[in-house]
Every structure is written in C-alpha cells, then in structure tokens.
Chains A and B, each alone.
Chain A
Amino acid sequence: MAEYWNIVESIQARHDSFLQEKPEPEMSISYEVGHKDFINSGKASSEIKLMLKRLGVNPEILRRVAIASYEAEINITAHSLGGKIICNIYLNCVHIVFNDSGPGIKSIEKALEPGWSTADDLVREMGFGAGLGLPNIKKNSDVMHIDSEEGKNTLLEIIIFFD
C-alpha cells in the first residue's frame, strides 16, 4: 500500500466538492523543516496555530490543528531527511501539506497502529517516538491523506474544517 486516505464520514460531501472545485487558497505560507533539527522543530506548527488564532478560528478547531500539525512536523524532523510544510488557508478550512525528502514509510498500515514506531535512539532520547504521531494526526483531522513508498518521499496532507 502506498496510499492511504482517511475521511471523516460527515465531511465526505464537503471534501468531494473541495476536490472538484480546487479553490485557490486565500493565503499560503511555507516553512522548511530540517533533518533532526529538534531545536527548531515545532516552530512551523506554532506559527500556523498563531496565524489561525489571529484569523479568529474557534479554539477547539485550533486545538486540533495544533496537535495534528505539531505531530506531523515532529515526524519530518525525527523520521525524514528534512522537508517542507505548506499551509493553505481557505475561508472554511485549512489544508496543510507535509512533504519530506525521504526515506519513505515501509508500511503505512503499521505506522498507523498506536504504539508502533521506527524511531531511533536519538529520537527516543528526545522524548519522541512513542508511536502516537500518525494516530494522533488521524484523530484530529477531518481528512488525512498519506502517499509514501520505501525509498521515496512521504507526502502527508490534512484538511481541517473550521465549522
């Protein structure tokens, strides 16, 4: 399996029309995330959270965006060779794309099992690698899409609606 979709049932119709219309984002911001850069990791998700706060997004939605984007950012830092985050803001939702430069996920199914982790010792020493990253992202997003293959890059995108 190289691709995985999780779409909250009640969101399906909205998501279909979103895919069909492919609207232009109102705003788009991108961030670089460095390989094993634990010092700066978390800054991009903090900025995304702050930005949405300033746009008046409801605190509960903000909480979900904060958790999902933070976990995904840490994933890039801990498990990849570095990557890029693009945050697209729409009037009714946020679409965040996390794209790294590899090495890819061997088994997305396994990675989605709570507690399953490939984290190395350094990552675990930093207090990460509990195997809750992807499950947490899934839990807190309306749409989650992963496209990955061992030896290639990983693309993770999430959509969270504001209402």
Chain B
Amino acid sequence: MDEKRYFHAIQLLNDKCKGCMHCVRICPTEALRIRDGIVHMDEARCVDCGKCISVCPFDAIIPTSDSLNQINRYEYKVAIVSASYAGQFTEDIDYSTTIKALYYIGFDMVIEESMASEVMTRIKQHYITTNKEVRPILSSNCPAVIRLIQVRFPSLLPNIFHIEAPMSVLSMYYRDKICIEKGINPDQIGIFLIVPCISQVTAVHQPEGAYKRIQEGAIAIRDVYTAVRDKLPYIKSLDIPVTTHERGLTRALSGHEADEVGNQQIRTLAVSGIDNVIEILQKVENHILDQYDYIVLRSCTNGCVGGVLNVENPFIARSRIHVLIRDAKDEDHELDSCFSCYLDGTFDVLPLEPRSIMELDKDIKQAILKMKKLQEIMAQLPLIDCGACGSPNCRALAEDIVQGRASIDNCVILLKKNIDKNEE
C-alpha cells in the first residue's frame, strides 16, 4: 500500500531460516510471514521491537548496527552512551572504568545519556503543565513505541511528547559546543550513540519527526562490550580523567522516569514490555486513562536494560544500575542552557505521520467489501491458529487472502479435510 521504504535494523538470513513459526507468532504487529519455507517481513508494519531476534532458535534473524570502525571516518569522535550500558559489567569493574574504556577504543569525548536526565525531567514537567489540553501525554523516548503508535494507534500521535529524546538533545548541544570550543568543522565531528536496542539504531538512520539526521551512527552496546571486556584490568590502570553521572542512570529503567517526572500535580504511569504497552494504548484510545498526565512507555521489559543489543540479563542489569543510582553523589550540570533551548523550540519535532497498516483499503467501499469477504473466509477457517499456513493466526491468513497475499489453500487443516472428504 505505502510506497515509502522503511529502514530496519534487522537482517533476515534466508540460508539459516528453517521456516518455523517462532518469530511470526511473537511479532506484535504481525509483520512476519513464512512464505515458500522462509520468513518475509512487511517493512511498513515492523516497529523494530526486536522480539523476533530473541526468539529465533536458528539465529536467522540478527540485529544490525554500525561497526566500531565507522568512527575512524571522523576527525573528532564522540560517544553518547545509553544509560543501560552501566548495567552490563560485573560489579568488580567500576563504572568509571567502563567509561574510560570508551576513550580507550578511540573516542575523543564520552557523554553519558544520564547527564541529560535532570534537565529532561524539567522539560517534561514544563511541557506537561503547558499542554493541558492533551491527556495523557505519552513518552517519546522509545523509538519502538513511537513506531507502534504510528502503525497501530495513529489516533494517539498528537499525545506524544513532541520533543527530541535525551540522546538527541545531547547530540545537538555538544555538536555546537565542540564546534565552537575546539574549532572543529561540524562535518568532521562524528557523534555515535552506544545503544541497547535495534529501535535506537533505526531511529538514528531514519529518525521520525526530526528535521535531519542528528547522529552519524549507532553502535551496539554488546559490540563495545566485546571490544573492551578482556582489557578492562589494563584500562582501569590508564590515567584518563573521567567524571561520571550515576544519578541520571534512571533512564535505563522503567518506572524511575515516571517517578521523577511525577509530583502532586503530575500523575504518571510507567509501563514496560510491548504487550503491556499495547494493552495500555488500547485503554488510552478508549479514553479511560485520561486521568493520567504522563505515561512512560517502553517496549522492552524493565525498560532499556531489556534491549536485544545488551549483554546482561535485564533484571541483573537493573539491580546493578539501582545500586549505582542509590550511591550516586550530587552532581553539577552544565546543561541548564538546554532548558532555554527547549523554550526556544530548538528541540521541537515535526508532527508525527501515521503509518497506518490497519485499514483494509483506502476507499471505504472497498474496505467494507474486503471486511465482508474477510468474515466469510473466517467462517471457513478452523480458528485454531496453528500457524502452519505461515500467517500468525487464522484471522491474519483471512486478511492475507483478502489482500491477495495468500490463498485459502495455504490452510493445511482445510486441505486435509478436503483430502479426507475425497477419500470417503
């Protein structure tokens, strides 16, 4: 239907795919099908949540991200590291050592996502109190959630917090700062995000609502981990002065952000895990959660620590980050000027466009005909959702048939019934 090409940080390896149904069944937007024995993706439907990657038993669906070598194309290399990075290393390694490690692998400057937490909280509180006519306001930090809303809940697009995510705010702020203070040409500054999930990779390469690309690339946390893991004792001894910002690591964990933004005037709700997010968005669409001012939605369980590009189990990572936050010292932040940039509109994003996959046809007359046909087909299908046809369930097969993407012969159960009938 839609001619637009969508970037996805997912690669399907045909030679490894056995045509099993694990990924097809788990996909929350029904973007995957098995056809001719291998998996196919509908690019318009995929929201880069990464669930298919974690369930594939044959490693036939793999995440993609920029390689570390990419940074060498730039004179001045900047890493902006996601808060969930802090949860990946065992507790015998100081957090400051893991930040040093980023300098060790070639970055000239390391910025932590956590540095923006405080100012982002202030920005959010201001946005929520000044946009009273929209309720609830939905967080925008998780790119998979943004795409899920575009695809399945387009009526909620105006509810999204229309301000750049913290790592983008930091990118914009520091690119200007480096340019002015170090006299480096903006084109020669390479800003790379160190990210926990594929939706962040996609967001860097095909940002939604942004005026232009803000970063040069997105590198997987696990690639950085692999590059430094063995050398950490050595890195620890290096004399690289680093300051760390543990207090703001809250961004990596679902729940914390809602607690920080919430106060007596702002009622918040925190939701993580894409199935929970879908359930909540349905309720928001029915206007039964209008009493909430702000809802934080994260596609991965426990928040960003659950992303597929992490190394550590999300519960263990959460526990470690929790300790870092608990023991954090008060910090000074130089980012106060970001608040006035926000007031000036520097971080505004364009209204987000729907990517509607829900309508059966652009023309309502055709859509009604298709809906009727869909119901007729449903009446024939066994409704056991076995998946042997390659579609996630009987309803999806009926839809595929209506849209000319499958035939009723794909149904193995019906086929067998017909064979049995002929034999009688």
In contact, A91 and B364 (Cβ under 8 angstroms): yes
The yes or no answer to A49 lying at the interface (CB within 8 A) is yes
In contact, A53 and B358 (Cβ under 8 angstroms): yes
**Interface-facing stretch out of A6-14, A58-66, A104-112, A148-156:** A58-66
In contact, A54 and B367 (Cβ under 8 angstroms): yes
Given contacts A54-B360, A70-B288, contact A26 B368 (CB under 8 A): yes
The yes or no answer to B333 lying at the interface (CB within 8 A) is no
Residues of chain B contacted by A42 (CB below 8 angstroms): 286, 288
Q: How far is the CB of B281 from chain A (nearest CB, A)?
A: 12
The yes or no answer to B285 lying at the interface (CB within 8 A) is yes
A99-141 vs B, CB cutoff 8 Å, 1 = contact: the mask equals 0000000000000000000000000000000000000000000
Given contacts A26-B368, A54-B360, A54-B367, contact A59 B287 (CB under 8 A): no
The yes or no answer to A45 lying at the interface (CB within 8 A) is yes
Residues of chain B contacted by A1 (CB below 8 angstroms): none
In contact, B155 and A56 (Cβ under 8 angstroms): no
- Name the contact of B359 in the complex, choosing from A46, A53, A70 (C-beta under 8 A): A53
The yes or no answer to B35 lying at the interface (CB within 8 A) is no
Docked Cα-Cα span, A153 to B293, in Å, equals 38
In contact, B371 and A56 (Cβ under 8 angstroms): no
- A14-60 contacts to B (CB < 8 Å): 26-27, 42, 45-46, 49, 51, 53-57, 59-60
Residue in A closest to B374 when the chains form the complex, CB atoms:
A54
Residues of chain A contacted by B286 (CB below 8 angstroms): 42, 45-46, 49, 66-67, 70
In contact, A55 and B360 (Cβ under 8 angstroms): yes
In contact, A59 and B361 (Cβ under 8 angstroms): no
Residue in A closest to B369 when the chains form the complex, CB atoms:
A26
Residues of chain B contacted by A60 (CB below 8 angstroms): 155
In contact, A62 and B368 (Cβ under 8 angstroms): no
- Name the contact of B367 in the complex, choosing from A45, A46, A55, A66 (C-beta under 8 A): A55
Residues of chain A contacted by B213 (CB below 8 angstroms): none
Residues of chain B contacted by A59 (CB below 8 angstroms): 154-155, 157, 354
In contact, A46 and B372 (Cβ under 8 angstroms): no
Docked Cα-Cα span, A20 to B124, in Å, equals 53
Docked Cα-Cα span, A67 to B284, in Å, equals 11
> What is the total number of residues of chain A having a CB less than 8 Å from a CB of chain B?
22
The yes or no answer to B276 lying at the interface (CB within 8 A) is no
Residues of chain A contacted by B365 (CB below 8 angstroms): 91
Most chain A beta-carbon neighbours within 10 Å: one of B154, B157, B362, B364:
B364
Given contacts A46-B286, A49-B286, A70-B288, contact A55 B155 (CB under 8 A): no
In contact, B372 and A56 (Cβ under 8 angstroms): no
In contact, B285 and A55 (Cβ under 8 angstroms): no
Q: How far is the CB of B269 from chain A (nearest CB, A)?
A: 15
Residues of chain B contacted by A54 (CB below 8 angstroms): 358-360, 367, 371
Residues of chain B contacted by A45 (CB below 8 angstroms): 286
The yes or no answer to A162 lying at the interface (CB within 8 A) is yes
Residues of chain A contacted by B364 (CB below 8 angstroms): 55-57, 91, 162
In contact, B368 and A27 (Cβ under 8 angstroms): yes
Residue in B closest to A25 when the chains form the complex, CB atoms:
B368
The yes or no answer to B282 lying at the interface (CB within 8 A) is yes
Residues of chain B contacted by A51 (CB below 8 angstroms): 371
Docked Cα-Cα span, A158 to B273, in Å, equals 37
- A46-96 contacts to B (CB < 8 Å): 46, 49, 51, 53-57, 59-60, 62-63, 66-67, 70, 89, 91
In contact, B368 and A89 (Cβ under 8 angstroms): yes
Given contacts A55-B359, A56-B361, A59-B154, contact A49 B368 (CB under 8 A): no
Q: How far is the CB of A49 from chain B (nearest CB, A)?
A: 7
Residues of chain B contacted by A53 (CB below 8 angstroms): 358-359
Docked Cα-Cα span, A151 to B363, in Å, equals 45
Residues of chain B contacted by A67 (CB below 8 angstroms): 286-287
Docked Cα-Cα span, A15 to B12, in Å, equals 53
In contact, B287 and A70 (Cβ under 8 angstroms): yes
In contact, B282 and A46 (Cβ under 8 angstroms): yes
Q: How far is the CB of A9 from chain B (nearest CB, A)?
A: 24
Residues of chain A contacted by B371 (CB below 8 angstroms): 27, 51, 54-55
Docked Cα-Cα span, A59 to B152, in Å, equals 11
In contact, B288 and A56 (Cβ under 8 angstroms): no
Docked Cα-Cα span, A63 to B155, in Å, equals 7
Docked Cα-Cα span, A98 to B286, in Å, equals 18
- B252-304 contacts to A (CB < 8 Å): 282, 285-288
Residue in B closest to A140 when the chains form the complex, CB atoms:
B287
In contact, A62 and B155 (Cβ under 8 angstroms): yes
Residue in A closest to B152 when the chains form the complex, CB atoms:
A53
Docked Cα-Cα span, A34 to B233, in Å, equals 67
Known: A45-B286, A49-B285, A63-B285. 12 other contacts (CB 8 A): A27-B372, A42-B288, A46-B282, A54-B358, A55-B367, A56-B360, A56-B364, A59-B154, A60-B155, A63-B287, A66-B286, A70-B287
Closest CB pairs A-B (n = 6): A56-B359, A59-B155, A55-B367, A26-B368, A53-B358, A67-B287
Name B's A-contacting residues (CB within 8 A): 154-155, 157, 282, 285-288, 354, 356, 358-365, 367-368, 371-372
